[in-house]
């Protein structure tokens, strides 16, 4: 029986795992610079946490959630996103007493979407959330963090920031109505998929990738015509603050995002090398969501970024670790070998323990793995309580006792542990 991985999932190892770890380290370092606290929540939650807040008619709730009944018949869902679990955890653990609360999280999400490049059914996200501030500075701080993370991770790769405002909650309701009326006029020209969204979810038609829809959307009404004075002022302030922090952006009047909880500022960072799954980071304001989940009536804003999409763009970094191969060339030195392995690793060296008992094969393998040194032990070394150190760059080799060996490698040991 050969069991295949579940469609849309992938195993992480080797180069991709190395990149993922580097990405996570940078995220944690930057989160620390901005004094955000990390939180880790369970992978599954009560299904109710997601259904209403994400929108009963959203694609995620309608088609993509992994929902199951456990043995008590309670409905559970593998988290499809992290904002609602973070808020649930902040409420459950009383993290909302001194506001604003600034939290970040890294973890796996689950959505049953059609797999393609940059789109998986289990994928990893980083999330940054500020709970309890309606100040435009919170929106701007979060965008600044997102840009800093992308700058540090993607170096000279290009990405663009798109922003929009969805106005207040009432604005969005009125806008949906206006869109429904507008799209009904062109119903027969829209794609079948968009036709089915006219009444329940007309916002989604705006980000349809079908040519017929794109043509009609060009003349769709603009949400900006419906902004309240307050919402309009706040959007201007966000744009002004972004300019002050030297962040370039493109105002995209049709950027509406895919989840129902957004209002006011929404934004996305995109990269054109990724094909159709081009959004690296997306987020926005969600005033009203904390209350809807059973917490106090406080505002919130945040974003999430897909780690696999960043991995796809990130250049590989050569592994600079000192990789040292400890090679046994005779079965008689097994005890001396394992004792040496213990002593070397205690000194902080990274050691690949090689017990093929064939010097030629072992050296070829060490060279293939780009190891810097080989420490070779055979009967002679055992007799003399010594070690032969071979520099694999120039093939020079010399015998040492243990202390002299460590002294010789000390420069590398210090480098490795810093
Ligand atoms: P989202 O736009 O659904 O927002 O997802 C955020 C990011 O997660 C996307 O921009 C993308 O990079 C990545 N992503 C989403 N789906 C997949 C997938 N199937 N495979 C690979 N990567 C994917 C949210 O999740 C909101 N919770 C963001 C937020 C936080 N808003 C406020 N706070």
**For 72-117, how does the pLDDT look when each residue is reduced to its tens digit (9 = 90+)?**
999 999 999 999 999 999 999 999 999 999 999 999 999 999 999 9
- pTM of the entire structure? 0.90
Q: Which atom of ligand 1 is nearest to the CA of 279?
A: 10
Distance 47 CA to ligand 1 centre (A): 19
Please give the distance, rounded to the nearest whole angstrom, from the Cα atom of residue 1 to the centre of ligand 1.
Answer: 35
Give φ, ψ of 338 to 5 degrees. -70, -30
Share of the chain above pLDDT 90, in %: 84
Q: Looking at residue 416, what is its pLDDT? A: 60
Q: What is the pLDDT of residue 415?
A: 65
Q: Which residues of 278-291 are buried (b: 16+ CB within 10 A; e: fewer)?
A: bbbbbbbbbbbbbe
248 Cα–ligand 1 center, Å: 22
Ranges of the chain with pLDDT below 70: 317-322, 415-418
Rg (CA), the chain: 28
What is the pLDDT at residue 200? 85
Distance from residue 180's CA to the centre of ligand 1 (Å):
26
> pLDDT tens digit string along 142-183?
999 999 999 999 887 899 999 999 999 889 889 999 999 999
Long-range Cβ contacts of 24-31 (<8 Å, 24+ apart): 24/106, 24/126, 24/307, 26/149, 26/152, 26/153, 27/104, 27/106, 27/126, 27/149, 28/106, 30/145, 30/148, 30/149, 30/152, 31/104, 31/128, 31/145
Q: Whose CA is nearest to atom 23 of ligand 1?
A: 306
Any residues with Cβ below 6 Å from ligand 1, and which? 81-83, 111, 113, 118-120, 123, 125, 127, 129, 258, 279-284, 286, 302-306, 308-309
Ligand 1 pocket: which of 87, 106, 113, 282 to mutate (most atoms within 8 A of CB): 282
Phi, psi (degrees; rounded to nearest 5) at 161: -100, 125
* Positive or negative torsion for Cα 128, 130, 131, 134: negative
How high is the pLDDT of residue 319? 58
The predicted pLDDT at position 172 comes to 87
Q: What per-residue confidence (pLDDT) applies to 142?
A: 98
Atom of ligand 1 at shortest range from CA of 259: 3
Pocket residue to mutate for ligand 1, from 117, 127, 273, 304, most atoms within 8 A of Cβ: 304
344 Cα to the center of ligand 1, angstroms: 44
So what's the pLDDT on residue 275?
Answer: 86
CA distance to 13, 35, 41, 295, per residue, from 93 (Å): 35, 19, 11, 11
For tokens 């744009």, what's the residue?
239
Answer positive or negative: Cα dihedral of 147, 148, 153, 156.
positive
Rounded to whole angstroms, the Cα distance separating 81 from 104 reads 13
Report the residue count for the chain: 418
**Sheet of 66-69, strand order:** 44-46, 75-78, 66-69
Ligand 1 center–CA 123 separation, angstroms: 9
Q: What are phi and psi of 119, to 5 degrees?
A: -130, 120
Residues 6+ apart with CB under 8 A from 35: 102
Measured CA to CA, the distance from residue 237 to residue 264 in angstroms comes to: 12
Q: Residue of the nearest CA to atom 12 in ligand 1?
A: 306
């Amino acid at each position: 029986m050969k069991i295949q991985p579940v469609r849309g999932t992938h195993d992480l190892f080797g180069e991709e795992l190395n990149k993922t770890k580097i990405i996570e380290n940078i995220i944690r370092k930057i989160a620390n610079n901005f004094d955000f606290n990390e939180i880790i929540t369970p992978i599954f939650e009560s299904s109710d946490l997601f259904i209403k807040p994400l929108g009963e008619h959203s694609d995620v709730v309608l088609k993509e959630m992994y929902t199951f009944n456990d043995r008590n018949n309670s409905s559970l869902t593998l988290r499809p996103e992290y904002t609602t679990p973070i808020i649930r955890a902040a409420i459950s653990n009383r993290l909302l007493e001194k506001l604003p609360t600034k939290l970040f999280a890294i973890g796996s999400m689950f959505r049953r979407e059609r797999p393609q490049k940059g789109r998986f059914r289990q994928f990893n996200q980083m999330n940054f959330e500020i709970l309890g501030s309606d100040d435009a500075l919170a929106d701007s701080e979060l965008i600044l963090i997102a840009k800093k993370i992308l700058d540090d991770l993607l170096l000279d790769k290009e990405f663009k920031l798109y922003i929009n405002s969805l106005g207040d909650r009432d604005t969005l309701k009125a806008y949906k109505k206006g869109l429904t009326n507008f799209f009904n006029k062109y119903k027969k020209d829209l794609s079948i998929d968009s036709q089915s969204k006219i009444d329940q979810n007309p916002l989604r038609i705006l980000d349809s990738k079908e040519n017929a829809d794109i043509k009609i959307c060009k003349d769709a009404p603009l949400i900006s015509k419906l902004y309240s004075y307050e919402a309009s002022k706040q959007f201007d302030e966000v744009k002004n603050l972004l300019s002050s922090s030297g962040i370039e952006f493109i105002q995209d009047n049709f950027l509406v995002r895919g989840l129902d909880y957004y209002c006011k500022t929404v934004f996305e960072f995109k990269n054109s090398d990724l094909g159709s799954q081009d959004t690296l980071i997306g987020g926005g304001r969600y005033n009203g969501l904390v209350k809807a989940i059973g917490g106090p009536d406080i505002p919130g804003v945040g974003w999430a970024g897909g780690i696999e999409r960043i991995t796809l763009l990130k250049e590989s970094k050569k592994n600079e670790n000192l990789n040292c191969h400890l090679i046994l060339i005779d079965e008689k030195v097994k005890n001396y070998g394992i004792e040496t392995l213990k002593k070397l690793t205690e000194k902080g060296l990274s050691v690949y323990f090689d017990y093929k008992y064939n010097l030629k094969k072992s050296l070829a393998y060490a060279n293939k793995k780009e190891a810097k040194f080989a420490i070779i032990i055979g009967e002679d070394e055992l007799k003399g309580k010594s070690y032969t150190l071979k520099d694999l760059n120039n093939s020079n080799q010399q015998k040492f006792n243990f202390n002299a060996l460590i002294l010789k490698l000390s420069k590398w040991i210090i480098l490795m542990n810093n």
